[in-house]
Copies of this chain bind each other. A is one copy, B any other.
Amino acid sequence: MNEMTGRAIEALLDVPSPYLIFLGDATETAFAKTAYGLRDWAPDRCVGECSITGAITLGLPILTPEAAVAAGAKAMVIGVANIGGVIRNSWLPMLIAGLEAGLDIVSGMHGRLGEEPVLRATAERLGRRLIDVRTPPRQLPVATGRKRTGKRLLTVGTDCALGKKYTALSLTNAFRARNVEADFRATGQTGILIAGSGIPIDAVVADFIAGAAELLSPDNAADHWDVVEGQGSLFHPSYAGVSLGLLHGSQPDVIVMCHAIGREQIMGLEDYRTPSIGEAIELNLALARRVNPAVRCAGIALNTSHVPPERAHEIESEIAIGLGLPVADPMRPGLRFDALVDACLADIA
């Protein structure tokens, strides 16, 4: 067991912070979601931003790499994406300047930093690290299914990409605001940058999905909550295996079901309809009971970003009445979200 714990600590991906956020040459906010996510959810980790002339700004202090280092920065994080997910040649001078100034470089893009020869050579020469947060740690364990101490919440969904990460982050913040000890546990690249550590669960070898999830939320104090970022959906024919492994390995006491208003088709698969929210709750609970018979659904996190607030409010009420559970958009603070938080923390055991 001691060996296991020792390995566990090594096996989480750790990202040095605080960050200098690099915006590249992005002129559209849609390509800078990671940068905005960091600014909004990890302000303590962001000392400033830098970019190539003409790019968008986050409104953070604009710093040279040297100034960022003087302000305490440990890493330059590439906060933009592009089609293809590759490092552009025009970015290289700034990335190299970062390395020269003393920063590690961190990327969540598909293309690996080390595949860029000039970056690799510069990092090696200076003894800096190139960290790809899509690359999982090696030597993950196979899951044991052993019951762990502490409380766990997992955000699950009717589909991919509808708010599981931001729901988990909002709930973590709300728990802390009530003086409940809580940690956000990241399973995807943006989440890992926000949390400063985690495991990119969809990139691990299949045999180790549940084992990685166990590693991510180890034994903890009895009243401590790990709030685990969900991935995919049990109903998504491309990714359901990842979702099930994460569900089993997380051993949740509580799930929160995430859904986006108007999402009727599974993302990218026109032949597949999204399940009803009730059906999705039922299947997640049925499968989660295998590892925790006491698991319960605390409520529904509704992504209402595509409808006007008053209509969103109506739909939330309808769903709440239909399912008898609290419903709230975690991006809109208020009484409804408070009720969802109450339900998560309610000890009905």
Q: Tell me the smallest distance from the CB of A49 to a CB of chain B, in Å.
A: 31
Cα distance A291–B207 in the bound complex, in angstroms: 23
Q: Are A210 and B238 in contact (CB under 8 A)?
A: yes
B-binding segment of A31-39, A143-151, A299-307: A143-151
Interfacial chain B residues near A241, Cβ < 8 Å? 206, 209-210, 241-246, 248
Interfacial chain B residues near A56, Cβ < 8 Å? none
This chain: how many copies in the complex?
Answer: 2
Closest to A202 in B: B207
Cα distance A235–B177 in the bound complex, in angstroms: 38
- Considering the complex, which residues of chain A in the window 161-217 have a beta carbon less than 8 Å from any beta carbon of chain B? 201-207, 209-211
Q: Is A239 an interface residue (CB 8 A)?
A: yes
Q: Is A127 an interface residue (CB 8 A)?
A: no
**What's the tally of chain A residues with a CB closer than 8 Å to chain B?**
39
Q: Are A239 and B207 in contact (CB under 8 A)?
A: yes
Q: Are B210 and A206 in contact (CB under 8 A)?
A: no
Given contacts A240-B248, A244-B240, A248-B240, A145 and B269 within 8 Å (CB-CB): yes
Q: Tell me the smallest distance from the CB of A78 to a CB of chain B, in Å.
A: 21
Q: Are A206 and B245 in contact (CB under 8 A)?
A: yes
Interfacial chain B residues near A287, Cβ < 8 Å? 234, 240
